[in-house]
Structure 1
Amino acid sequence: MLSASELADRLARDAEAVCRHYLSAGRRAGNYWIVGDTANSKGKSLYVHLSGPRAGRWADAATAEYGDLLDLVRETCGLVDFRDVADEARRFLNEPRVSPAQSVPAASRRSDAHVDPLVDRPAGERAKRLFQMAQPLGATLADSYLRQRGILRAALHPALRFHPSCYYRELKTDETHILPALVAAVTDPFGEITGVHRTWLDPDGDSKAKIDDPRRALGGLVGNAVRFRFPTRGPVPVMVAGEGLESILSLAHVMPGMPMVSALTANHLAAFRPPNGCLRLYVAADADAAGRHGIEGLSRHAQSLGILPLVLTPELGDFNEDLRRLGPGRLIANLSAQLAPEDAQTVLSV
């Protein structure tokens, strides 16, 4: 039986056929296959290398997702278990090839015996299913992990859950893992889940899992975010937006009255859409070049909407480092000096 890397290599040998089958809404452009996303939408965000040493590798510029063709099969078919992904890849490899003119969408070529209940559903629905499979955060390994980071009330946030056996595959090796994970729901302005963010954890400790990439996102992130204490109706006159999940959770720990969002990456922070009725938008800074890009992009967008952007800066590398090393009292004092007086009076708490 072929291993994961062998399956990926076999698929890469016929990368264009794989793309025509699973990403039929796309088109070839030189040595790339171009399409909107892994849900097979029209567009130009996702590109797949069709030849050369990177044949079969793909990346989505909009969501920061990437992988090989085995990952692409998993995403396009909405599969969760690696066994199902491998079975689908083997089925494709055993089918006779058709010419590009004869190529038809994947959904119409599957026999009833191979149809998965999530096949051809949008990425947001696949993310929603994963979040629904997770359990409440309280008294779990994920809760313990966050407490070790100084975040003591994370279980109060419905956007966070714990999955005890979340599938993970290393891109550079054959290794596959079933690991516990902190799962965060990415939602749109109406509270609908569009994606999830996973932080895989060490089952024997209170740290992240010892894998190459312990954080990954799935689904639609652009313009959306992980939301904390965020109303789904009515105006949000004042709020905080930032990049990292733990950095925003650290601010939420000492600012329990403030709506907040974590956009997860600097690019997605720049693309975040502030809610209607927002008057002041605090942008939580991270001390790196990518973080500055996100801050500047979101600030420009806020100003174009008539929203006042105000930057909150940590004393150390990020707000979680401030919380852990300096303590909540010092963090509150630092924030008090940066918030508008009316906001400092209503949201800060030890």
Structure 2
Amino acid sequence: MSVAFRDDSAELARRLEDDMEAVLNEYWPGWVKTRVKSQDVALLTPRIKIDPKSGKKSKRPTSSFTLNLSGERRGQWYRFSQGLGGGMLGLLYYGEFGNVPNSKTDWAEAYKLARKFLGITREHEKSIEDQDARAARRAKEKRDRDERERRDAEERAAKDAARTYTAQEVFGQSQDLHGSQGEAYLVGRGIPPVETWPWNCSSTIRFHPSLRYELDPEVGRLPAIVAAVLDPFGSLIAVWQIFLDPLKPIKANVINPKVGRGPAGGGAVRIGGDAERVGGCEGLETGLGLWALEGFRMPVWSMLSTSGMMAFEAPIFLKRLSIYHDGDKGVIQNGRILKPPGTNAADVLAEHMAAVGVGTNRNEMPILGDGLDLLQTRNELERKK
């Protein structure tokens, strides 16, 4: 008796995603797990970065070859150095053959490889007994997956709560920005002095004279600008820290001088306070620059990154958001040119705002530049008058 063809592509993709660690162990046994922006990420080719100026080694490994282990992009991989990426089926094929599937023949081979890796064959699925056993196995896999996700969620929630508490402590310990080294740094970047701001920034942006640099304990303590990240209800959920040189008003000579503390997803640094209409951008300095460039006529909220823009959640009083995205370059992936990250983030943000009834408008930024670059250009032109 013939057996009707059954499309198992979705099931293969799901089962590979459920067993991501097995794929990694098979092809990249040296992979390590880390946390990036509150998400679990696998570094498939981890290495320790060395600062070219100081010669110091970073404490945390980095890699241009990553796999998302949690969050909305779970199961998505990227090899930025080669402009490649995709889902688990493509990753399995890449691990076996060193390239991504690009033709029908390639994809047929990828599905064949996946069935072999998972212990599935077409003939094995024909009998009723095998189908029953397979259904029981799938049910057990689902129970195991649900339990694993529950434990992971509880662990993440506990860690996020602890980091939020730490962020609140750090902000509480911080001092006024006015007259500090932090203000001198911002002025050096072209942002007007704090005394000219028509808003008391003490509830949002402060200065910490001696904050521990948690990415590398050997660095010790450094002065830092500390900005409060608020959720849609106005609660402090994280802080954004810009670490400074201990002697000069410039960024510290460390691997990454800009570091978040706490789960910032959905939040923003509300530069200029609250209003029914605000601007939205990525960086903190960019937000301050745009706020000044616009004559302080409306608040400009910093969402801190492209992922922060895409995850932003609007408070109930917000009626209109003016979006200022960075002028990034396009990205090449699988031979295709994708939208620049800043443009893509702005598109997603606009869609999310439309879904909750918040109007939006877009503002074009210079190619490979942002709002702070515009302010600096204006300042330079005014000096030449």
Which interval holds the TM-score relative to the shorter structure?
A: 0.5 to 0.7
Q: CA deviation at 1:230?
A: 2.5
User: 2:348 is paired with a residue of what secondary structure?
Assistant: helix
- Whole-angstrom CA distance in 1 between matches of 2:252 and 2:309: 25
Q: Does 1:167 align with 2:207?
A: no
Shift in alpha-carbon separation, 1:273–1:267, aligned structure 2, 3 A: same
Shift in alpha-carbon separation, 1:66–1:160, aligned structure 2, 3 A: farther
- Whole-angstrom CA distance in 2 between matches of 1:141 and 1:133: 16
Q: Does 1:260 align with 2:300?
A: yes
Letter in 1 for 2:261: L
Q: Does 1:240 align with 2:279?
A: yes
Q: CA deviation at 1:270?
A: 1.1
Equivalent position of 1:218 in the other structure: 261
Shift in alpha-carbon separation, 1:147–1:64, aligned structure 2, 3 A: farther
* 8 A contact 1:145–1:206 mirrored in 2: yes
Q: Percent identity?
A: 28
* 8 A contact 2:231–2:313 mirrored in 1: no
Shift in alpha-carbon separation, 1:300–1:119, aligned structure 2, 3 A: closer
Letter in 2 for 1:326: R
Shift in alpha-carbon separation, 1:120–1:143, aligned structure 2, 3 A: closer
Tell which structure's C-alpha radius of gyration is larger.
2
Q: CA deviation at 1:311?
A: 1.1
Equivalent position of 1:110 in the other structure: none
The one-character-per-residue Cα deviations of 1:168-200 (angstroms, maximum 9, x if unpaired) are: 2556xx843321111111112332210001111
- Whole-angstrom CA distance in 2 between matches of 1:303 and 1:54: 40
The one-character-per-residue Cα deviations of 1:132-151 (angstroms, maximum 9, x if unpaired) are: 11111111110000001111
Equivalent position of 2:225 in the other structure: 182
- Whole-angstrom CA distance in 1 between matches of 2:363 and 2:239: 26
Number of aligned positions between the proteins? 232
Equivalent position of 1:16 in the other structure: none
- Whole-angstrom CA distance in 2 between matches of 1:66 and 1:195: 24
Shift in alpha-carbon separation, 1:58–1:287, aligned structure 2, 3 A: same
- Whole-angstrom CA distance in 1 between matches of 2:255 and 2:262: 21
Aligned ranges 1:1-350 → 2 under 5 Å:
31=21, 52-55=29-32, 57-60=33-36, 62=38, 122-154=162-194, 156-158=200-202, 159-169=204-214, 175-231=218-274, 236-254=275-293, 255-288=295-328, 289-315=340-366, 317-327=369-379
* 8 A contact 1:65–1:217 mirrored in 2: no
- Whole-angstrom CA distance in 2 between matches of 1:66 and 1:163: 33
* 8 A contact 2:230–2:270 mirrored in 1: yes
Aligned-residue CA RMSD (Å): 3.3
TM-score, normalised via structure 1 length: 0.58
Q: 5+ residue gaps in structure 1?
A: 1-27, 33-50, 72-104, 106-117, 331-350
User: 2:242 is paired with a residue of what secondary structure?
Assistant: strand
Q: CA deviation at 1:119?
A: 9.8
* 8 A contact 1:237–1:278 mirrored in 2: yes
Shift in alpha-carbon separation, 1:62–1:310, aligned structure 2, 3 A: farther
Structure with greater helix share of residues = 2
TM-score, normalised via structure 2 length: 0.54
Q: CA deviation at 1:285?
A: 1.6
User: 1:122 is paired with a residue of what secondary structure?
Assistant: helix
User: 2:220 is paired with a residue of what secondary structure?
Assistant: strand
Q: 5+ residue gaps in structure 2?
A: 1-17, 23-27, 49-58, 61-150, 152-157, 329-339
- Whole-angstrom CA distance in 2 between matches of 1:31 and 1:325: 49
The one-character-per-residue Cα deviations of 1:58-85 (angstroms, maximum 9, x if unpaired) are: 12454699999x98xxxxxxxxxxxxxx
